[in-house]
């Protein structure tokens, strides 16, 4: 099992001035740095790849979806902007040799409303249309798009693995799979291990976050059950900590982060990795 940590743990938005994190993450013992792309233009991508290669870190790419990146929006400009953003991130993932680009690609984080069945159908159709286009680009660049269900407080569109499976089956591309985040699963699923088994070979990435989004191993998740389920489906991907140590105002609002989740970002990352390594050592 390869272990990673998101740049979100320390900084938002990640930029070229944040590159000291690469060395810190490597020194902690991680295999992967997961780079959250809030603004692609503030990151020197060739330099990032060069430093990561020099220290021996792999890179995975994740997305940040605000209202203007919503491929299911009733605003056509936002739908276009969202598709273009996904395509940009797929290309970046290819350049960084990331096997995946993951996130709630279907909508905007923090978009929570009760809408009519007719409106839901329109939004789903726009979503499927754009995910189909994105999947074609993903195929061209050899990158898997990981569609991530979020909890009900962060989206009204895809909360459960069943909803995610329905969506990827409608798009019907081997380049569109599912990213599970155990924090969201803990809110929405009856059993995280059974959810992992249900997703099975469609699971392309796992963000292994604690029940309170704090340090893995300090909450109430069934980590032994999660480990067994990953073994049962012969999962070959990574497990990554993604939580928020210094969220921007927009991110804090979207993800409802109002208090520190650990004593420090460094403590969360180092103790979380120690827990991962102990859990998966046997």
Does 13 sit behind a cis peptide bond, omega within 30 degrees of 0 on the bond before it? yes
- Based on the residue annotation, tell me whether 68 is a catalytic residue of this protein: no
The answer to whether residues 6 and 279 touch, using CB atoms and an 8 Å cutoff, is no
Q: What's the N-to-C CA distance of the chain in angstroms?
A: 11
* Residue closest to 242 by CA, chosen among 280, 275, 216: 216
* Residue closest to 215 by CA, chosen among 277, 273, 150, 254: 273
User: How far apart are alpha carbons 117 and 125 in whole angstroms?
Assistant: 12
List Cα–Cα distances, 248 to 3, 13, 118, 251, in angstroms: 25, 7, 34, 5
Catalytic residue among 34, 148, 188, 189: 148
Running DSSP on this structure, what letter comes out for residue 246? S
The answer to whether residues 261 and 214 touch, using CB atoms and an 8 Å cutoff, is yes
User: How far apart are alpha carbons 221 and 189 in whole angstroms?
Assistant: 12
DSSP 162-187: HHHHHHHHHHT-TTEEEEEEHHHHHH
Q: What is the phi-psi region of residue 31: left when phi exceeds 0, alpha when psi lies from -120 to 50, beta otherwise?
A: alpha
Catalytic residue among 34, 38, 123, 242: 242
The answer to whether residues 18 and 11 touch, using CB atoms and an 8 Å cutoff, is yes
- Based on the residue annotation, tell me whether 271 is a catalytic residue of this protein: no
User: How far apart are alpha carbons 215 and 73 in whole angstroms?
Assistant: 34
Q: Among all residues, which ones are annotated catalytic?
A: 148, 242
């Amino acid at each position: 099992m390869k272990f990673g940590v998101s740049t979100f743990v320390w900084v938002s938005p990640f930029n070229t001035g944040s590159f000291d994190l690469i060395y810190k993450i490597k020194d902690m013992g991680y295999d992967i740095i997961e780079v959250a792309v809030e603004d692609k233009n503030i990151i020197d991508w060739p330099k990032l790849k060069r430093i990561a290669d020099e220290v021996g870190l792999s890179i995975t790419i994740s997305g940040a979806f605000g209202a203007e990146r919503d491929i299911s929006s009733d605003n056509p400009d936002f739908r276009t902007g969202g598709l273009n953003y996904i395509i940009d991130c797929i290309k970046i993932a290819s350049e960084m040799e990331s096997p995946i680009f993951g996130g709630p690609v279907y909508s905007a984080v923090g978009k929570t409303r009760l809408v009519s069945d007719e409106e839901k159908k329109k939004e789903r159709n726009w979503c499927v249309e754009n995910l189909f286009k994105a999947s074609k680009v993903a195929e061209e660049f050899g990158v898997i798009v990981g569609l991530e269900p979020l909890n009900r407080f962060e989206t009204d569109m895809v909360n459960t693995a069943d909803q995610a499976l329905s969506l990827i089956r409608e798009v019907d591309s081997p380049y569109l799979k599912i990213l599970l985040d155990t924090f969201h699963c803990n809110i929405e699923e009856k059993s995280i291990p059974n959810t992992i088994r249900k997703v099975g070979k469609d699971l392309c990435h796992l963000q292994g976050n604690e029940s309170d989004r704090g340090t893995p191993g300090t909450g109430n998740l069934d980590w032994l059950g999660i480990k067994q389920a990953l073994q049962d489906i012969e999962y070959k991907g990574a497990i990554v900590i993604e939580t928020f140590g210094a969220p921007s105002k927009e991110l804090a609002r979207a993800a409802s982060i109002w208090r520190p989740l650990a004593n420090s970002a460094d403590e969360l990352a180092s103790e979380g990795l120690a827990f991962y390594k102990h859990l998966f050592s046997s």
